Structure 1
Amino acid sequence: MKLVDLKVTEFMGKLGSDEPAPGGGSASALAASMGAALVIMVAELTIGKKKYAEYDEEMKAVLKDAKKVHEALLTAIDKDTEAFNQVSAVFSMPKETDEEKAKRREAMQVALKGAAICPYEIMEEIATGLKVTARAIGKSNVNAASDLGVAALNMKSGIQGAWLNVLINLSGIKDEAFVAEYRQKGEQLLAESCPLADQIYEDILKVV
């Protein structure tokens, strides 16, 4: 059964167990997906309301884009755990001969790259989600303004958490070009997204 199909209590039980996965990557995707869901809710509470008629088309676009981000992040909850499981599977590979050891080392590098790419892709989705959230500021139902602030907070924690999962996997990768590329791209996403999340939060504080 997929993690996303579990009850909340079941998922939390797995997260709090002695199993190493699901872990921080899946938790980060979940946190950010809740943020995207809140943006969807705010859009739904705005579209069709006479008071916000002038923003109707813009909020419909926000709704559409937030749903895409939400769906991608839900998928990432399981993808991140699957990527970690690929790393774990390498430890069960034989290592008696030099050939087996070489195959094991190669398999580990491939698995670690996959485990780094997955949380990086989570970061990309969250970065998009924050931009979508910002588009709703001042154009959505003011009674749900606080929910946009909560959305930004969830997404910020998600992108920072995903970054930690990128870094821990990069630390074991020997391909220096790969490491440099993903470190640079990840740092760029953080530099753009964290200030945006903070700005959304500050903007919401002014109206609640």
Structure 2
Amino acid sequence: MNNMFFEQSINDFLESISSDEPVPGGGSVGVYNAATGMALVIMALKISIKKANNKDKLINLIKRSQFVIDALKVSLIEDIECFSSLMKTKNKPNKNETENKIRQVATNEAAIKATDVPISAASHCVAGLHIAHEAITICRKTILSDVYTGANMINTSCQSILLNVDANISLITSEAKRNSYSKEKNKLMIEASDLLHLIKQ
């Protein structure tokens, strides 16, 4: 995984986002936001563990939360890389039938990858919301606002990340694949929203 992104300061990251370059864009920024929300949940768990009688469940949730963050870090880099690859296909030569066919194949493959990545990232968000739902039952009441904030951020990120599915799906030639991705996208959006509703109850 390319670690150059994670060596940036927050200021450099913000400048990268606000530049005229297409990456980092909505997908990678959404993933970063989800990881930040997950970090808030971890903070709440770590504060709660200090005075907990039974620490095992809290420790388990912290480990699972860290796994989600690590997975989101991978998704963030993958999002930048796959979108960059998709953009490059538009610059491939297209002067004759052979070149046109090569470009179409390359675009289709890049679009599939650029759709796989947000689907995967959104599934990590859903996993994070499951953890947040468990966390509200065992975290200290004085820190629950951070769990709620983290869950809100994760859900918003999930919905935003999945916008990339809509952006890339039309470039996929297989109707079966397009339908499959659409169904998975809708499933993840609904599951994330339902989990957030449960967390806020």
How does the TM-score come out when normalised to structure 2?
Answer: 0.95
In 2, Cα distance between equivalents of 1:186 and 1:94: 33
Letter in 1 for 2:67: K
- 1:171 is paired with a residue whose SS is helix
Gaps of 5+ in 2: none
Letter in 1 for 2:146: D
Aligned to 2:173: 174
Aligned to 2:53: 53
Aligned to 2:191: 192
In 1, Cα distance between equivalents of 2:7 and 2:159: 25
Gaps of 5+ in 1: 204-208
- 1:45 is paired with a residue whose SS is helix
Aligned to 2:7: 5
Aligned to 1:24: 26
In 1, Cα distance between equivalents of 2:174 and 2:4: 32
In 2, Cα distance between equivalents of 1:91 and 1:196: 39
Letter in 2 for 1:17: S
How far 1:5 moved relative to its partner? 2.1
In 2, Cα distance between equivalents of 1:26 and 1:69: 15
How far 1:161 moved relative to its partner? 0.5
How far 1:4 moved relative to its partner? 2.4
In 2, Cα distance between equivalents of 1:198 and 1:177: 32
Question: What's the Cα RMSD here?
Answer: 1.2
In 2, Cα distance between equivalents of 1:146 and 1:74: 25
- Post-superposition Cα deviations, 1:8-57, rounded to whole Å, max 9, x if no partner, equal 111111111111111110011011001111111111112241xx213x11
Query: Is the 1:155–1:197 Cα contact (8 Å) retained in structure 2?
Result: no
Letter in 1 for 2:107: M
Aligned positions, number? 199
In 2, Cα distance between equivalents of 1:63 and 1:159: 20
Residue 33 of structure 1, aligned match among 32, 35, 39: 35
How far 1:138 moved relative to its partner? 2.4
Aligned to 2:108: 109
In 2, Cα distance between equivalents of 1:198 and 1:29: 21
Aligned ranges for residues 59-74 of structure 1 at < 5 Å?
59-74=58-73
Aligned to 1:206: none
Letter in 2 for 1:35: G
In 2, Cα distance between equivalents of 1:91 and 1:188: 31
Identity of aligned residues (%): 27
- 1:27 is paired with a residue whose SS is helix
Query: Is the 1:109–1:173 Cα contact (8 Å) retained in structure 2?
Result: yes
Aligned to 1:79: 78
Query: Is the 1:39–1:147 Cα contact (8 Å) retained in structure 2?
Result: yes
How far 1:143 moved relative to its partner? 1.9
In 2, Cα distance between equivalents of 1:157 and 1:5: 25
How does the TM-score come out when normalised to structure 1?
Answer: 0.92
Aligned to 2:121: 122
Letter in 2 for 1:148: V
How far 1:175 moved relative to its partner? 0.9
In 1, Cα distance between equivalents of 2:50 and 2:146: 19
